[in-house]
């Protein structure tokens, strides 16, 4: 830390992203990326957009919003695009929390929530999950702050039903409820339709996982137009051009090829079911995942040993050096070929760890 670093950030603990090694050709199953390339139209549109990079991007993201509003059956003023969904989440912390309105979220969830709270100087309350890693919805009823729930949750992959989320929203008419649907396309039900009914619901989604655009950084929020106006106030006060033109064009192409993306999700779900069966045969137990990853624990081998040995063999999975999570690995579901190699390498690792 330099002697110039602002005192207000001196105790900030930044988010640790998953490893992105460039040295070896790893089978990368550690950051929940898609194994599939972006859609052809996305690639074509981004290439074309490169010819006009001398111009600023459209701060209103008009073309993108028009297509997305149609895709998600909402009005154009009920949606906002951001630089990954991390940005819309950060905007939500900035817009809907303050020292009297804490952020409330599970103790085991997306690790960035605590960082967003800390950097914005927002108090936060972490509610323990049940022992089986499920969320107890009663804990979130009549809350005294802004609620953030990832659905499906990370790193467990466990999803709440629409009815359960509606109960939470209903019991919090004076609190904003943010539902982070980064992984919703892999088997959970979206609560986007509830944004018509409740003015306190903000839903966030991303193009990073189900739409193969992690490197493009494109996310969005859907909610009542007044919530979206608030988020736009934050956006226009920080970076009006938050979505660059290459990404915006890729996003448009991606929505045009929506069927391609949704077909890829079906493949991932099939690969997940296959992987779950194979891992069970090898002595793993897993949470019931509705995401593009599984959260797996072996009955004898330790999570960290499995992670390290798999890395030696060129397969990267995510290990969280954190209480309650020590025994587990979060494994991204990739292509069938990648999953075959994973299972083969895990078999070798388990032999070596015997």
Judged by the rule CB under 6 A, the positions of this chain that interact with ligand PMP are 84-86, 110, 150, 154, 180, 182, 206, 208, 214, 219
Q: What angle do CA 326, 332, 334 make, to 5 degrees?
A: 155
Q: Which helix (H) or strand (E) holds 281?
A: helix 258-281
CA 71/CA 253 separation, integer angstroms: 13
In the complex, least distance from residue 25 CB atom to ligand PMP, rounded to whole angstroms: 23
Look at residues 30, 312, 99, 80 and name the one whose alpha carbon lies nearest to residue 218: 80
**Comparison of 180 and 185: residue with beta carbon closer to ligand PMP:** 180
In the complex, least distance from residue 202 CB atom to ligand PMP, rounded to whole angstroms: 13
Cα distance between the two ends of the chain? 44
CA 17/CA 75 separation, integer angstroms: 34
In the complex, least distance from residue 282 CB atom to ligand PMP, rounded to whole angstroms: 26
**Comparison of 65 and 149: residue with beta carbon closer to ligand PMP:** 149
In the complex, least distance from residue 261 CB atom to ligand PMP, rounded to whole angstroms: 15
Which residue has the CB atom at the shortest distance from ligand PMP? Answer: 84
Q: Which helix (H) or strand (E) holds 297?
A: strand 293-298
**Comparison of 289 and 346: residue with beta carbon closer to ligand PMP:** 289
How does DSSP assign 30-70, residue by residue? SS---SSPPPHHHHHHHHHHGGGTTSPP-TT-HHHHHHHHH
Residue 101: Cβ within 10 Å count: 16
**Comparison of 84 and 223: residue with beta carbon closer to ligand PMP:** 84
In the complex, least distance from residue 266 CB atom to ligand PMP, rounded to whole angstroms: 21
**Comparison of 105 and 284: residue with beta carbon closer to ligand PMP:** 105
CA 99/CA 88 separation, integer angstroms: 20
**Comparison of 309 and 318: residue with beta carbon closer to ligand PMP:** 318
How does DSSP assign 189-238, residue by residue? PP-GGGGGT-TTEEEEEESSSTTS-GGG--EEEEE-HHHHHHHHHHHHHH
In the complex, least distance from residue 177 CB atom to ligand PMP, rounded to whole angstroms: 15
């Amino acid at each position: 830390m330099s002697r110039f670093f602002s005192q207000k950030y001196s105790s900030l603990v930044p988010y640790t992203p998953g490893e992105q090694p460039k040295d070896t050709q790893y089978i990368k199953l550690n950051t929940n990326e898609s194994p599939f390339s972006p859609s052809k139209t996305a690639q074509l549109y981004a290439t074309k957009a490169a010819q006009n990079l001398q111009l600023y991007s459209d701060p209103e993201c008009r073309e993108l919003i028009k297509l997305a509003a149609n895709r998600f059956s909402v009005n154009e003023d009920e949606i906002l695009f951001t630089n990954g969904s991390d940005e819309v989440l950060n905007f939500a912390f900035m817009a809907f929390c303050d020292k009297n309105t804490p952020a409330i979220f599970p103790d085991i969830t997306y690790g960035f929530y605590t960082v967003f709270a800390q950097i914005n100087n927002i108090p936060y309350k972490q509610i323990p999950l049940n022992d089986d890693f499920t969320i107890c919805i009663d804990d979130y009823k009549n809350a005294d702050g802004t609620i953030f729930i990832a659905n499906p949750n990370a790193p467990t992959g466990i999803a709440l039903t629409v009815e359960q989320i509606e109960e939470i929203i209903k019991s919090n008419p004076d609190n904003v409820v943010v539902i982070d649907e980064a992984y919703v396309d892999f088997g959970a039900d979206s609560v986007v339709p509830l944004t018509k009914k409740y003015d306190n619901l903000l839903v966030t989604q991303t193009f990073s996982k189900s739409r193969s655009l992690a490197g493009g950084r494109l996310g969005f929020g859907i909610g009542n137009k007044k919530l979206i106006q608030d988020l736009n106030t934050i956006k226009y006060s920080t970076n009006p051009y938050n979505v660059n033109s290459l990404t915006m064009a890729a996003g448009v192409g991606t929505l045009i090829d929506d069927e391609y993306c949704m077909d890829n999700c079906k493949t991932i779900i099939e690969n997940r079911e296959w992987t779950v069966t194979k891992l069970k045969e090898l002595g793993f137990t897993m949470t019931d995942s509705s995401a593009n990853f599984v959260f797996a624990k072996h009955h004898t081998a330790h999570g960290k040993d499995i992670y390290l040995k798999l890395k030696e063999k060129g397969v990267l999975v995510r290990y969280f050096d954190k209480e309650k999570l020590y025994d587990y690995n979060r494994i991204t579901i990739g292509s069938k070929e990648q999953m075959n190699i994973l299972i083969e390498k895990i078999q070798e690792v388990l032999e070596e760890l015997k």
